[in-house]
Amino acid sequence: MQKRKLGNSQLEVSAIGLGCMGMSFAYGTPLDKAEGIALIRAAVERGVTFFDTAEIYGPFTNEELVGEALSPLRDKVVIATKFGFKIDPVSGKQIGLDSRPEHIKKAVEGSLKRLKVDVIDLLYQHRVDPNVPIEEVAGTVKELIEAGKVKHFGLSEAGANTIRRAHAVLPVTALQSEYSLWWREPEKEIIPTLSELGIGFVTFSPLGRGFLTGKINENTQFADSDFRHTLPRFSAEALKANQALVDIITQIAAEKKVTPAQIALAWLLAQKPWIVPIPGTTKLHRVEENMGAAAIDFTPEDLRHIDRALSAVTIQGGRYPEHQQKLVGR
């Protein structure tokens, strides 16, 4: 597996990482713990060195899974986690945002224990908290770095102005946000900002939460425990309208003799040398398929062809319901 550095930092990771959320949370029945551990360790054996989790995934259970899986392999991997949500101690449900300094420090202590590590490689603020100045958040993480509990600072779903303000206090190593062939909004303002400041871009949902693989269509039924059934973009009407995008990607994949998922990931890798997608999966053959994308080379004409073809498709449906959409891009 090729390696990439996140922006101007010296944090080097595999060109394609592994998003671990879906093993424990959000996409239906959680993976059996033993199966999850085996999958994560098999990914390391195949060259993946970058693993993404968060305290809210579960909550807590995903960090525990990642910690147990990677504990014997600690010197071979980079582990990223996130803070920023308030979690009800009784129900375990998310009940708002909390990036107050005392909450950040408490969250980090919990993550260190669950991950079985002495230091967190990359710590993201999961969502921007409008009640806490980002300068205060960055200053708190700076204290944690000085204390040896964190190595690198990241933001997730932050707006360009917030990124600039945070970076002025503490260099931001990476932004984690959604970016894919069906969500290209970051190209307008976010990617130019990251390029200017020397910040890496870790892209989640690079396969459009599975849609870009070609395995989902308007007839797909999502379980109540699969959060995609709440997303406007996954309504039957939107899926039908957006199928034209998948048809184009599938055609390009056939021409290249690869899979649609590999086209989607290779396209992201071709955009900037500091972009690292973190597709999630619960299946080893999908890990292997995703890793294969790093070997695909696009010519400039290939990329122009993809842009031309996709420009004819207007994507239907919002990323999130309105209450969740308000939490992004701040």
User: Of the listed 27, 57, 124, 179, which one is catalytic?
Assistant: 57
Q: What pLDDT, in 10s, does the model give residues 152-196?
A: 999 999 999 999 999 999 999 999 999 999 999 999 999 999 999
Q: Which fold is adopted by the domain 3-325? A: TIM Barrel (3.20.20)
- Give yes or no for residue 131 having a pLDDT over 90: yes
**Backbone phi, then psi, for 146, in 5-degree steps?**
-65, -30
Q: What pLDDT, in 10s, does the model give residues 20-67?
A: 999 999 998 999 999 999 999 999 999 999 999 999 999 999 999 999
Domain ranges of the chain: 3-325
Tokens describing residue 32: 């059996």
- pTM above threshold 0.75: yes
CB burial readout 154-186, b (16+ within 10 A) else e: bbbbbbbebbebbbebbbbbbbbbbbbbbbeeb
**pLDDT value of residue 96:** 94
Tokens describing residue 243: 């199928």
Residue 320 annotated as catalytic: no
pLDDT tier, 275 (very low <50, low <70, confident <90, very high otherwise): very high
CA distance 317 to 323: 15
- Output 57-62 pairs: Cβ under 8 A, ≥24 positions apart: 57/20, 57/21, 57/24, 57/25, 57/26, 58/24, 58/25, 58/92, 59/87, 59/92, 59/94, 60/92, 60/110, 60/114, 61/24, 61/25, 61/30, 62/20, 62/21, 62/23, 62/24, 62/25
**pLDDT value of residue 93:** 87
Tokens describing residue 208: 């459009």
